[in-house]
């Protein structure tokens, strides 16, 4: 097979693919140049940050397989790909643990004010009696989107002694019972945002979730609560979040790993605030996770090429 790898994946996987397939990498190729090179490949491998829209896919005349080396599908024109009978495979499971652990880490950083404590210390200021943190134990963790990642976040929160509440787009008695067995209480979206001390967002970006966390929603959250966004940037209204974080009657803090604009040269409108933690979309960026995803990419391509 002729394979074009559009995003960086595990080097071991790339070498393995090169043994049995014709493999090319286009990590640093500008998006404007992709239509010129994409035409003769049988398979594409991509991660977030690469947009496979119809205009680009129309140039991929030989394409039979698209592999999303992760979970989110918002940057792929699924409808068009399916209309051409292109097989789409995603690999959501390996990233769930990595993203969930990062969510827990960000909650701890916000609760214990680890970033400002570190900054003060580096500046020669001994702020021992000024830094007042909070325990996670006994607090309410609200999970918006209790799927692959959200359910693991909930279990980690439960292990920390938190009351875990969550919501899903399509609740059912069976789903409620399965989550209850994991220590997660399924409530309405409205109840979750109003009762949470820490609100963790884990929904895909689609029409129903774009701008889901807006000014109205933020105004209904507890004064002094915290928001963690590890889903997609478009789910949270960044300007409304800025206003809430700047208001003494708003949120205490936020941690944001995904942004409305991403990539080199972009900056967040939240950058000027000291009560927000900003990271460059690294939720699944662990060695272990990327090795497992790379392994799965190889398995999918070998199985596909073998019929």
Q: Which active-site residues does the annotation give?
A: 232, 262, 281
Which distant-in-sequence residues (6+ apart) come within 8 Å of 303 by Cβ?
none
Dihedral of the alpha carbons of 251, 256, 261, 265, in degrees to the nearest 10:
110
140 forms beta bridges with 163
Q: How far is CA 274 from CA 253, 277, 292, in A?
A: 9, 8, 36
Question: How many CA atoms lie within 13 Å of 179's alpha carbon, on the beta-carbon side?
Answer: 26
DSSP secondary structure code for residue 139 in this structure: P
Dihedral of the alpha carbons of 199, 205, 208, 211, in degrees to the nearest 10:
60
């Amino acid at each position: 097979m002729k394979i074009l790898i559009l995003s960086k994946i595990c080097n071991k996987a790339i070498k393995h693919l090169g043994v049995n397939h014709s493999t090319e990498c286009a990590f640093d190729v500008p998006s404007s140049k992709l239509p010129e090179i994409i035409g003769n490949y049988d398979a594409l491998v991509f991660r977030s940050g690469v947009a496979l829209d119809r205009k680009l896919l129309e140039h991929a005349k030989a394409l039979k397989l698209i592999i999303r080396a992760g979970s989110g599908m918002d940057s792929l024109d699924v409808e068009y790909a399916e209309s051409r009978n292109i097989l789409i495979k995603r690999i959501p499971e390996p990233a769930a643990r990595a993203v969930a652990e990062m969510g827990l880490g960000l909650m701890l950083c916000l609760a214990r004010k680890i970033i400002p404590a570190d900054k003060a210390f580096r500046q020669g200021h001994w702020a021992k009696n000024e830094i007042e943190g909070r325990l996670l134990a006994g607090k309410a963790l609200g999970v918006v989107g209790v799927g692959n990642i959200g359910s693991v976040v909930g279990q980690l929160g439960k292990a920390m002694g938190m009351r875990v509440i969550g919501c899903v787009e399509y609740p059912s008695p069976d789903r409620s019972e399965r989550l209850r067995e994991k220590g997660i209480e399924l409530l309405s979206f409205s109840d979750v945002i109003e009762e949470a001390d820490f609100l963790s967002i884990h929904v895909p970006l689609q029409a129903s979730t774009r701008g889901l966390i807006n000014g109205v929603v933020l105004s209904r959250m507890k004064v002094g609560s915290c928001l963690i966004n590890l889903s997609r940037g478009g789910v949270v209204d960044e300007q409304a979040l800025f206003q809430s974080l700047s208001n003494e009657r708003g949120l205490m803090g936020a941690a944001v790993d995904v942004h409305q604009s991403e990539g080199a040269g972009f900056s967040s409108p939240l950058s000027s605030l000291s009560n927000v933690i900003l990271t460059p979309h690294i939720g699944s960026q662990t060695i272990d996770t990327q090795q497992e995803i790379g392994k799965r990419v190889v398995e999918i391509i070998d199985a596909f090429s073998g019929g």
